[in-house]
Amino acid sequence: MYENLNNYKVFYNVAKYKSLSKAAEKLYISQPAISKSISKLEEGLEIKLFDRTSKGVMLTEEGEILYNHIEKAFESIIKGEDEIKKIGELGIGQLRIGVSTSLCKHILLDYLKGFITMNPHIKVIIDCHSTINTIKLLQEEKIDIGLICETDIPKGYKYKKLKDIHDIFVASDNYIDNLHLRERENDDSDSSNDTYFFAGNLTSFLSDKKTTYDYKLSSKEILEKSNLMLLEQNNITRTHIDRYLAGEDIHPNQILEINNMDLLIDFAAIGMGVASIVREFATEYLESGQIIELPLEKEVKKRTVGFIYPEGKIKQTALEKFLNYCK
């Protein structure tokens, strides 16, 4: 079959235009070459495909059957060629992005709004997963690019930093007040001998409050004695926080695991405990005073968020346009 592909192309054009000369004109070859290709195809199939008449050529019954199949095949090829041309001319294409729910809401959406407006012909598909699963989907070629928190990048993939993020601990001011009162009541020692104080105060974290809070509990004690709310395990962010807690010799007595950072923020705002969140994801809550950032004796090491994509795939039109837009 493959050696006859060119002959089938000739056959298709002769049958379509019902003329050897018109087929030769469309294919930019001589009429004798057209006749030779048809003869080879007829010999190979051992059937007669055309009847020659004074008005041109007509398909035989067998030729009509073959043409019905060949026509569909060549129309599909032509349609595919046209779509490829449109991709180059209009930027039509498809982009599959893997991203966690939090990163999508707080970072990716801002980029997507402008990108989609500028490239309406590009179909964008969002697949929400954790960073670990996003990398797995990328390796399985189920997505084209992923937006992830900084982590070890597999060989054969590139990581393009987008922005810095900062992990912090937050709570409502009422929760901290109540925690302090509760622990003070449980403390049988002389308060005058209590040497634990917060480093600094919370005044700078409360934009609309003038009261200075001097807590007798240290930041370490608060994290250990509070209801500490963290993302679930096997998560890049949770691993980062666990390393921080271990490095600072902090051993929480009670941990509540939640699989969504937006819920962590909401739970902290209603006074359920102290939550580990990303500062950039809770700007409105912090500015309104619904939650306050706890001062730490040592800040959690900042991280980056960026795009991961396979090396060598940057030439894909949609992916290339998206990365250039996000610079």
Three-state SS sequence of 132-177: HHHHHHHHCCCCCEEEEECCCCCCCEEEEEEEEECEEEEECHHHHH
Task: Please tell me whether residue 213 adopts helix, strand or coil conformation.
Answer: coil
* Distance (Å, whole) CA 76 – CA 47: 26
Task: Please tell me whether residue 283 adopts helix, strand or coil conformation.
Answer: helix
pLDDT digits (tens, 9 = 90+) for 189-225: 544 444 433 333 443 344 444 333 444 789 999 999 9
Give 94's strand partners.
123
Q: What is the pLDDT of residue 205?
A: 40
**What strands, in cross-sheet order, belong to the sheet with 227-231?**
254-258, 227-231, 274-278, 167-171, 292-293
Tell me the Cα Rg of the chain.
34
Residue range 297-326: mean pLDDT, rounded? 87
For residues 273 and 175, the answer to whether their CB atoms sit within 8 Å is: yes
Output DSSP code: residue 35. Answer: H
Residue range 243-272: mean pLDDT, rounded? 96
* Distance (Å, whole) CA 289 – CA 270: 12
Is the model more confident about 184 or about 112? Answer: 112
pLDDT digits (tens, 9 = 90+) for 97-119: 999 999 999 999 999 999 999 98
Q: How far is CA 223 from CA 67, 153, 226, in A?
A: 77, 31, 6
* Distance (Å, whole) CA 64 – CA 47: 12
Q: Count the residues in the chain.
A: 327
* Distance (Å, whole) CA 215 – CA 196: 8
Query: Which residue do the tokens 């020692």 mark?
Result: 189
Residue type, 300: V
| Token pair recorded at residue 24 | 């030769």
Residue range 41-57: mean pLDDT, rounded? 88
Burial per residue of 125-147, b for 16 or more beta-carbon CB atoms within 10 angstroms, e otherwise: ebeebbbeebbbbbeeeebbbbb
Spatial CB neighbours of 70, under 8 Å, sequence gap ≥ 6: 8, 11, 12, 15
The overall average pLDDT reported for the chain is 86
Please name each of the domains of the chain with its CATH number.
2-89 (1.10.10.10), 91-164+305-325 (3.40.190.10), 167-301 (3.40.190.10)
For residues 121 and 90, the answer to whether their CB atoms sit within 8 Å is: yes
